């Protein structure tokens, strides 16, 4: 019989669950196959190489205390709440088989009379609608395949948070593919998290012809592991969530009573590397000082407005124009 284990998280903290997944991946023996099951509190999870400003409405996310999380694997942006179940298959590189993993999920769904298929984009579809998406990571000796299962997600929130405010962003990162999605409960209203995860667990151990070896992961015990806790803190940091953003350009234009301004921002790793401000403003010094002040600072409205605030002492006759510019930036980048 193959060695197989099922690990279930008892926390809904998305940062901690991703840190736990990484710890399992690094700590596991390469002679075992692991199924890790977990759920997250309301969160936007973006891929390793994605631009959060281009993927979601950061203002609404902040207002509603939604977690913004950057995972280590690729793929697109997703909204998760407790109506979504996450699965991770971990194995040695030699024993890694994506199709086998997909078959476990598809066979579990079939137990509820749901006919699902794997799509070419590594999604699972039912009736032409996406109910699961996957992403992957491979190391020389091990690999994992993790994915989502939309059981009863708040799809209105999904559409709301994953629709960014209109901005002229030219991103070099990966833009999510917007797919038609559906909750699995549309196809069987009796199904829920508990019943589906039990079916997945049964199919997992059946596939590996293994006795059931299950463990509920104790959150408090895991917090005491230095390596896991350090990675947890990293995932929560702004350096990881925003600083890992690929290069992109942002153009903003506004007509004030005193001038038209056309602002071009080149950013990298969440910082403004170059700013160019074009304007028909008669006060040339004001435009030049604003442009100089916002070089090499964080791409964040508060950082920009705080930097520009310093110009009020330098240019006391332009306080009203400076305030107009600050209010505009706050609205546009919020």
DSSP lists the bridge partners of residue 91 as: 143
Q: For residue 142, what pLDDT is reported?
A: 95
The reported pTM is 0.77
Q: For residue 176, what pLDDT is reported?
A: 60
Q: For residue 99, what pLDDT is reported?
A: 95
Q: For residue 221, what pLDDT is reported?
A: 93
Mean predicted confidence (pLDDT) in 98-113:
97
Mean predicted confidence (pLDDT) in 33-58:
90
Report residue 246's pLDDT band, with 50, 70 and 90 as the boundaries: confident
Report residue 172's pLDDT band, with 50, 70 and 90 as the boundaries: low
How does pLDDT run across 293-329, given as a tens digit for each residue? 999 999 888 899 999 999 999 999 899 999 999 999 9
Q: Mean pLDDT of all residues in the chain? A: 90
Beta strands (DSSP E) in 239-286 are: 248-255, 260-268, 271-279
Mean predicted confidence (pLDDT) in 103-113:
98
- Alpha-carbon distances, residue 171 vs 266, 305, 331 (angstroms): 10, 23, 20
Which residue would you say has higher pLDDT here, 203 or 284? 203
Least confident of 27-36, 48-57, 144-153, 159-168: 159-168
Domains of the chain by start residue, with CATH: 4-241 (3.30.930.10), 248-333 (3.30.390.50)
Please say whether the beta carbons of 39 and 146 come within 8 A. no
Residue 250 has pLDDT above 80, yes or no: yes
How does pLDDT run across 53-76, given as a tens digit for each residue? 878 888 889 889 999 999 888 777
Report residue 12's pLDDT band, with 50, 70 and 90 as the boundaries: very high
- Alpha-carbon distances, residue 66 vs 81, 82, 86, 153, 299 (angstroms): 10, 13, 18, 14, 20
% of the chain with per-residue pLDDT over 70: 94
Most confident of the ranges 10-14, 53-57, 211-215, 241-245? 10-14
Q: For residue 212, what pLDDT is reported?
A: 92
Report residue 165's pLDDT band, with 50, 70 and 90 as the boundaries: low
Q: For residue 5, what pLDDT is reported?
A: 96
Strand, coil or helix: 219: helix
- Separation of alpha carbons 68 and 52, rounded Å: 8
Report residue 249's pLDDT band, with 50, 70 and 90 as the boundaries: confident
- Separation of alpha carbons 96 and 144, rounded Å: 8
Mean predicted confidence (pLDDT) in 282-296:
89
């Amino acid at each position: 019989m193959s060695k197989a284990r099922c690990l279930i998280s008892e926390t809904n903290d998305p940062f901690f669950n991703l840190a736990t997944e990484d710890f399992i991946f690094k700590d596991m023996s390469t002679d075992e196959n692991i199924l890790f099951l977990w759920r997250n509190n309301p969160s936007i999870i973006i891929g390793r190489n994605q631009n959060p400003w281009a993927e979601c409405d950061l203002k609404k996310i902040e207002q509603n205390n939604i977690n913004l999380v950057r995972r280590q694997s690729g793929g697109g942006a997703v909204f998760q709440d407790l109506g979504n179940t996450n699965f991770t298959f971990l194995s040695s590189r030699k024993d890694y088989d994506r199709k086998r993993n997909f078959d476990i999920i598809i066979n579990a769904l079939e137990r509820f009379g749901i006919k699902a298929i794997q799509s070419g984009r590594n999604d699972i579809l039912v009736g032409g609608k996406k109910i699961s998406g996957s992403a992957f990571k491979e190391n020389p000796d091990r690999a994992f395949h993790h994915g989502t299962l939309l059981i009863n997600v708040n799809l209105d929130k999904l559409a709301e948070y994953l629709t960014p405010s209109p901005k002229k962003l030219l991103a070099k990162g990966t833009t999510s593919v917007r797919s038609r999605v559906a909750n699995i409960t549309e196809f069987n209203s009796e199904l829920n998290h508990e019943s589906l995860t039990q079916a997945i667990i049964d199919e997992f151990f059946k596939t590996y012809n293994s006795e059931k070896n299950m463990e509920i992961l104790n959150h408090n015990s895991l917090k005491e592991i230095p390596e896991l806790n350090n990675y947890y803190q990293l995932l929560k940091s702004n350096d990881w969530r925003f600083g890992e953003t690929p290069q992109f350009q942002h153009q903003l234009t506004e007509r004030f009573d005193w001038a038209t301004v056309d602002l071009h921002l080149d950013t990298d790793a969440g910082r403004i590397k170059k700013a160019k401000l074009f304007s028909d403003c008669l006060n040339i010094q004001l435009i030049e000082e604003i442009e100089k002040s916002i070089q090499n600072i964080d791409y964040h409205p508060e950082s920009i407005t705080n930097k520009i605030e310093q110009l009020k002492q330098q240019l006391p006759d332009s306080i009203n124009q400076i305030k107009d510019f600050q209010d505009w930036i706050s609205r546009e980048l919020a």
